[in-house]
């Protein structure tokens, strides 16, 4: 089978210098606007978004204050290829759209539902689409033929639904969502990570893809059409319901695992990302309400049910250990917030960022003299490792969230958590 690899330079990939081929197939890579037609080949492979280029503008036109998006589209090429895709389908040719990003049907107040070939095909087929908030790598294959490709490269930015469409077959799922599908045996939408740009990685990517694609095309051509499932044998519905329940259970557990991994990210982050991760851990893990005053990147506040601040939080990342300056900045947080000089203040510090590669390396004690300085200034210090271990005590039921809040409000020094116990170390000054 002869395939056209169309316009991969549009997604920042450099086409191989020669065709990729073996005894069963070839892929001829041609640039956007090539005079070669889709129907000149047995199939075409192209990336979603090859026909559109989004541009972000600061400040809206006509004197409006909002920023806005525009989209550059070569409509002549887009409509020409849409017609050619129809001719390819009529001749029994195969088309594969690689889904490597969200569809972005709307950006701001603007509608972009017909700016790409993949969008036009979906619009015509009445397959409904919706973007995820973020890309999910938890993609599973429903087809043995594509299992290898999806196990290596599968990732989904969108999911689909096709109520009443008889030639629709799911080929990939994320939980209960369809994230990849085939229409008939010839038209494929495959969710994927973008391939790496070096020639060896491209060859590997397209070889695994096309072998799975051809095998799926042949198998689907031999299978009974989907509409035969309208006839249900005894017990079939119960099995399907049991399968859906298991898939839902798996999806829920995967989401819980993703949340726990997001909590653990505080060990490896810095700057704004560390602040967001620590805020999420304290709120969603410890169940303590946190707010972030506008204009202060590292300043957070724990608030009570009435919205009144009860603890000030300072979040810092450092390539070394606890610094005296970090304690001083946490102390000055009180002045910035306009509270009393002895107001409860907590410094969460991610130590040794970028210089540790094991948990053992990460677990280094804080400088005793700086701990003493924190205690003298009424600041409670936690390493992110101690914060995670504190969360673990709460999850085990060894420590109630109310007790955690009480500790944060009343203690100063270093809150150290080891195993199933915690202690507050006062440190020792140099003069001592």
CATH code, domain carrying 320:
3.40.91
pLDDT band at 299 (very low <50, low <70, confident <90, very high): confident
Q: What is the number of H-type helices and E-type strands within the chain? A: 11, 22
Residue 251 lies in a domain: no
State which of 191, 223, 255 marks the end of a domain. Answer: 223
pLDDT-derived band at 337 (thresholds 50, 70, 90) equals confident
Cα separation of 378 and 212, whole Å?
Answer: 63
Q: Which domain holds residue 319?
A: 263-425
Q: Is pLDDT above 70 for 432?
A: no
Same domain for 218 and 268, yes or no, is: no
Q: Does residue 40 fall inside a structural domain?
A: yes
Residue 66 within any structural domain of the chain: yes
- What is the distance between the alpha carbons of residues 3 and 16, in angstroms, rounded to a whole number? 14
Residues 211 and 331 in one domain: no
Residue bearing tokens 């000055």: 332
The string over 13-29, giving b where at least 16 C-beta atoms fall within 10 Å of a residue's C-beta and e elsewhere, is: bebbeeebeeeebbbbb
Reply yes or no on whether the pLDDT at 407 is more than 80. Answer: yes
Does pTM top 0.75 for this prediction? no
Within-domain flag for 244: no
Could you tell me if residue 248 is inside a domain? no
The mean pLDDT of the chain is: 90
Residue 201: strand, helix, or coil = helix
Residue with tokens 């202690």: 423
- Identify the DSSP state of 367: P
Q: Is 211 exposed, middle or buried (0-12, 13-18, 19+ CB in 10 A)?
A: middle
**Residues 175 and 290 both lie in one domain:** no
CA separation for the pair 291, 109 (Å, rounded):
29
Residue 240 lies in a domain: no
Residue with the two structure tokens 């991760």: 277
In this structure, are residues 177 and 149 in contact, taking their beta carbons and an 8 Å threshold?
Answer: no
Q: What is the mean pLDDT of residues 386-391?
A: 96
Residue 51 lies in a domain: yes
Based on the structure, what is the number of domains in the chain? 2
pLDDT at residue 298, rounded to an integer: 60
Helix, strand, coil percent content, the chain, rounded in steps of 5: 40, 25, 35
Looking at residue 119, which CATH number applies to its domain? 3.40.50
Round to the nearest angstrom and report the end-to-end CA distance of the chain.
81
Are 213 and 324 within one domain?
Answer: no
Nearest to residue 96, comparing CAs of 1, 15, 214, 257?
Answer: 214
202, 223, 244: which is the final residue of a domain? 223
Range list of H helices, 139-283: 147-153, 199-222, 236-264, 271-280
**324 and 175 in a common domain:** no
High-pLDDT (> 70) share of the chain, %? 96
Residues 341 and 211 in one domain: no
Judge if 21 and 161 occupy the same domain.
yes
Cα–Cα distance for residue pair 251/176, rounded to 1 Å: 7
Mean pLDDT along residues 82-111: 93
Q: Do residue 207 and residue 279 come from a single domain?
A: no
User: In which order are the strands placed within the sheet that holds 290-291?
Assistant: 290-291, 299-303, 309-317, 345-350, 379-383, 413-418, 421-425
- Does residue 271 register a pLDDT over 90? no
Structural domain ending residue among the three candidates 192, 223, 254? 223
Same domain as 286, residue 418: yes
DSSP SS3 for 248: helix
Residue 245 lies in a domain: no
Residue 285: per-residue pLDDT: 94
Cα Dmax for the chain: 88
Q: Are 175 and 138 in contact (CB under 8 A)?
A: yes
Give 76 or 432, the one with higher predicted confidence: 76
Q: Same domain, yes or no, for 379 and 274?
A: yes
Q: Do residues 191 and 305 share a domain?
A: no
* Same-domain check for residues 193 and 293: no
């Amino acid at each position: 089978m002869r395939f056209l690899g169309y316009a991969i330079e549009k997604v920042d990939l450099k086409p191989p210098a020669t065709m990729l081929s073996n005894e069963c197939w070839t892929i001829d890579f041609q640039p956007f606007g090539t005079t070669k037609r889709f129907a000149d080949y047995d199939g075409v492979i192209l990336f979603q978004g090859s026909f559109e280029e989004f541009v972000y503008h600061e400040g809206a036109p006509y004197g409006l204050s909002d920023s806005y998006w525009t989209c550059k589209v070569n409509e002549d090429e887009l409509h020409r290829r849409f017609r050619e895709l129809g001719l390819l389908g009529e001749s029994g040719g195969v088309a594969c759209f690689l889904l490597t990003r969200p569809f972005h049907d709307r950006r701001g107040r603007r509608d972009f539902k017909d700016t790409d070939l993949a969008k036009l095909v979906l619009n015509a087929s009445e397959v409904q689409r919706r973007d995820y908030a973020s890309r999910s790598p938890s993609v599973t294959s429903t087809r043995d033929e594509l299992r290898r490709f999806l196990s290596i490269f599968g990732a989904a930015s969108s999911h689909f639904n096709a109520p009443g469409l008889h030639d629709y077959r799911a080929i990939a799922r994320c939980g209960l969502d369809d994230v990849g599908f085939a229409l008939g045996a010839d038209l494929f939408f495959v969710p994927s990570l973008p391939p790496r740009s070096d020639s060896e990685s491209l060859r590997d990517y397209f070889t695994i893809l096309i072998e799975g694609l051809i095998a799926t095309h042949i198998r689907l051509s031999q299978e009974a059409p989907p509409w035969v499932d309208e006839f249900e044998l005894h017990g079939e519905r119960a099995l399907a319901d049991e399968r859906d329940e298991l898939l839902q259970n798996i999806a829920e557990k995967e989401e819980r695992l993703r949340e726990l991994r997001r909590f653990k990210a505080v060990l490896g982050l810095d700057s704004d990302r560390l602040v967001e991760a620590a805020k999420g851990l304290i709120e969603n893990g410890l169940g303590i309400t946190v707010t972030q005053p506008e204009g202060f990147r590292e300043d957070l506040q724990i608030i009570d049910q009435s919205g009144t601040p009860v603890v000030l939080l300072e979040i810092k990342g450092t390539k070394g250990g606890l610094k005296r300056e970090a304690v001083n900045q946490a102390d000055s947080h009180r002045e910035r917030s306009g509270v009393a000089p002895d107001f409860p203040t907590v410094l969460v510090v991610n130590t040794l960022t970028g210089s540790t590669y094991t948990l053992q390396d990460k677990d280094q004690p804080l400088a005793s003299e700086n701990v003493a300085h924190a205690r003298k200034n009424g600041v409670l210090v936690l390493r992110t490792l101690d914060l995670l271990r504190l969360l673990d005590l709460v999850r085990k039921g060894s420590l109630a969230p109310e007790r955690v809040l009480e500790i944060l409000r009343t203690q100063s020094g270093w809150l150290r958590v080891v195993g199933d116990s915690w202690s507050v170390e006062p440190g020792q000054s140099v003069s001592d």
